[in-house]
A and B are shown apart, each in its own frame.
Chain A
Amino acid sequence: MADKFFAWYGEVFKDSALSAREKSLIALAVAHAVQCPYCIDAYSSDAYEKGWSESQMMEAVHVASAIKGGAALVHGVQMMNKVKSIAM
């Protein structure tokens, strides 16, 4: 199973329709969204080694945070709907 996972993982990050460099920045943003310390270290190094600047990397983290924060916020609609259903 592990071998299959790592083979697939390796394949995902290869240059293809997106470059390995672009994929590294996506991975960095996702690593922050899922708050995986190992992935943050790994993709901070990888993205920097692949030539992204600190400001570009920070912007990617802001994008991840904006999506995560926005997603949390719009769940407020669910909250309001639930409250509406039980309130007099």
Chain B
Amino acid sequence: MKSLKALQHALADAGHQIDILEHEKDLPLFTGKMKQAGLLPLLPTQPEIFQVNVGKMCNQVCKHCHVDAGPDRKEIMTKTTMQLCLDVLANNPSFKTVDLTGGAPEMNPDFRWFVSEIKKLKRHIIVRCNLTIILANKKYHDLPDFFKQHEIEVVSSLPFYTQDRTDRQRGNGVFEDSIKALQMLNAVGYGMEGTGLLLNLVYNPAGAFLPPSQIALEKEYKDALLERYNIQFNQLYVITNMPISRYLDYLLVSGNYSSYMEKLIQAFNPVAAANVMCRNTISVGWDGYLYDCDFNQMLDLKIGCSGSDHLSNYSSSAISEREIILNQHCYGCTAGSGSSCGGAVA
């Protein structure tokens, strides 16, 4: 399977995705809903999470991927841009957490150097590890030890605790390798009580529907993974699929686009809307540009700070005075209990 970009698919163009999202005139505007909820303009709070997308290259090509990642994507953050990230972090102590994402972030050749440098700045590090990367090549087999050594919090997608659903979304053989990788992480202490080594899993629906309750599903996951594979983990994050990129393609091809958008809109929750992750997060692209979140990044909606929308001209005052850029895809963050990189928000 190839990325939309490699297929030269129309949806590889962010502008085309936005056209589709804005085209459905019957659907109420997200900004209108936010206005009714007293949340327009949406303003940031204290910036706490510095999320860095170190590249779009990935060993997998998941059907729902909002990054359109895959082995054919060559956009990778350079060491020079990583250094700019480190400079911004050093000058902005309010960023307590650095969240490394991709693609598969571990595939960036400077990933380990970057992690060690961030650690020197004494920040909490999250790595969004897709699990299968650990088994993909011998050079990655020691990742569990590397994560442990740097006290990294590991957040990993496992769309379901059965093979069928996981493989349908993420590709054949992914479930089996994910289980092996989770066992390797458990073996060094990840997810095990008393170790302090956090291993959190991510559920997202394998189809055109919204996720169920996080609490109930976490218990189901814990029981099933322990009983069947002797696997333990800390928390389950339940995430709603965003109607962008490859998931948007799936919705359109399967004829579910309009009904999915209606479901999101009907489930709009003002409490979730007040807690969307863009309020305390800055998202950095592989080329150093700044965004309100990873979704806006993939839609090429740069942060609303003219003149300081890149790491090289980072301005903390401009960042804190900005208005967050919203569009129709934002309904994906505000449905039901809400959705963020850390799961439900309400």
Q: Which residues of A contact B (CB under 8 A)?
A: 15, 19-21, 45, 48-51, 53
Contact = CB atoms under 8 A, between A and B. Distances in A.
A53 B209 contact: no
A53 B165 contact: yes
A40 B78 CA distance: 53
Contacts of B162: 51, 53
Contacts of A51: 160, 162, 165, 212, 217, 220
A51 B160 CA distance: 8
Contacts of A21: 216, 220
Interface in B203-242: 205, 207, 209-210, 212, 216-217, 220
Contact of B205 (A19, A20, A49, A53): A49
B24 interface: no
B169 to A, nearest CB: 13
B216 to A, nearest CB: 6
Nearest to A49: B209
A45 B209 contact: yes
B164 interface: yes
Contact of A50 (B164, B165, B212): B212
Given A21-B220, A49-B205, A53-B162, 12 more contacts: A19-B216, A21-B216, A48-B207, A49-B209, A49-B212, A51-B160, A51-B162, A51-B165, A51-B212, A51-B217, A53-B164, A53-B165
Contact of B209 (A15, A19, A20, A48): A48
Given A48-B209, A49-B209, A53-B164, A20 B220 contact: no
Contacts of B164: 53
The interface residues of chain B, by DSSP majority, are classed as: loop
Contact of B216 (A20, A45, A48): A20
23 contacts: A15-B216, A19-B216, A20-B216, A21-B216, A21-B220, A45-B209, A48-B207, A48-B209, A49-B205, A49-B207, A49-B209, A49-B210, A49-B212, A50-B212, A51-B160, A51-B162, A51-B165, A51-B212, A51-B217, A51-B220, A53-B162, A53-B164, A53-B165
B224 to A, nearest CB: 9
A49 B260 CA distance: 13
A53 B207 CA distance: 12
8 shortest interchain CB distances as A-B pairs: A49-B209, A53-B164, A50-B212, A49-B212, A15-B216, A51-B160, A45-B209, A53-B162
A50 B217 CA distance: 9
A61 B212 CA distance: 23
A49 B216 CA distance: 13
Contacts of A20: 216
B259 to A, nearest CB: 11
A19 B216 CA distance: 9
A6 B165 CA distance: 33
A42 B160 CA distance: 22
Nearest to A53: B164
Nearest to B207: A48
Contacts of A48: 207, 209
A25 to B, nearest CB: 13
Nearest to A50: B212
A45 B160 CA distance: 17
Contacts of B207: 48-49
A21 B162 CA distance: 16
A82 B220 CA distance: 52
Contacts of A19: 216
A19 B205 CA distance: 20
Residue from A19, A21, A50, A51 whose CB has the most chain B CB atoms within 10 Å: A51
Interface in B108-166: 160, 162, 164-165
Nearest to A19: B216
Nearest to B205: A49
A34 to B, nearest CB: 24
B212 to A, nearest CB: 6
